[in-house]
Structure 1
């Protein structure tokens, strides 16, 4: 007989690897993507006044600005896809360990698999390396 443990919607037996319901994982990913859509929009808004004062922009800068807009639109589309998948795959479970191993941002892994509702901003200790753009 296998012992069953349930924590934050994750069911785990003593003999099996931890798994998370597909709908729960999809919803958490969708929530993170909505937060990223908002952050991308904030970057665009923050750059607006600076760009309005610029007399000319190099082609490289123009491409970078277009890339930010494409990032915003892509994340927005992907979060809607995840919302659709969350309702379509509710009865399946996903093994956590293989997914957790490929996620570089540890705070994101905790939010997805441990149901931690933490703000996006991290301390230096939590984030590892700083990635500047």
Structure 2
């Protein structure tokens, strides 16, 4: 099939998308949530040896550790919900601009809306300040 620049499909390919199918967005959010579930698991694994060697943990530290576990479980549940939702509403679309403007992490907006299959990565330039806990 020969595609000329004047065909509707060729023009559509050259213009940036202004909306995204809700099913596609749900799938991409589910992928990001899964990456965060994996990161939360890695944090728990990394803290394990330190915790096992600690003689006593303050109540504040114990609450923080419980918060990490709750974060892990919550992200895991959310990614399952997004997977379910991606199968339900594939016929509608949503405007990209307001969603993109609401997201602080520019690499995340790029991955969600620009159809990029890039590995999860944070850089100081595009991801805001590092929040140490």
Task: Give the TM-score normalised by structure 1.
Answer: 0.86
Q: Distance in 2 between matches of 1:126 and 1:36?
A: 17
How far apart, CA to CA, are the structure 2 residues paired with 1:6 and 1:63? 51
CA drift at 1:6: 4.1
* Larger gyration radius, structure 1 or structure 2: 2
1:111 equivalenced with 2:118 (yes/no): no
Partner of 2:130: 130
Name the counterpart of 1:55: 55
> Does 1:35 pair with 2:35?
yes
The whole-number CA distance in structure 1 between the counterparts of 2:13 and 2:84 is: 26
**Counterpart of 1:68?**
68
Q: Displacement, 1:74?
A: 0.3
What is the deviation of 1:121? 2.2
Conservation of the 8 A alpha-carbon contact between 1:11 and 1:19: no
| 1:86-101 to 2 correspondences below 5 Å | 86-101=86-101
| Cα RMSD (Å) | 1.8
* CA apart distance, 1:132: 1.8
- What residue ranges of structure 1 are gaps of 5+ in the alignment? 13-17
Runs of 4+ in 1 over 3 A off after TM superposition: none
Between the two proteins, the alignment pairs up a number of residues equal to 124
Distance change (3 Å), C-alpha of 1:50 and 1:78: same
Unmatched 5+ residue regions in structure 2?
1-7
Paired residue for 1:15?
none
What's the secondary structure of 1:122's corresponding residue? Answer: coil
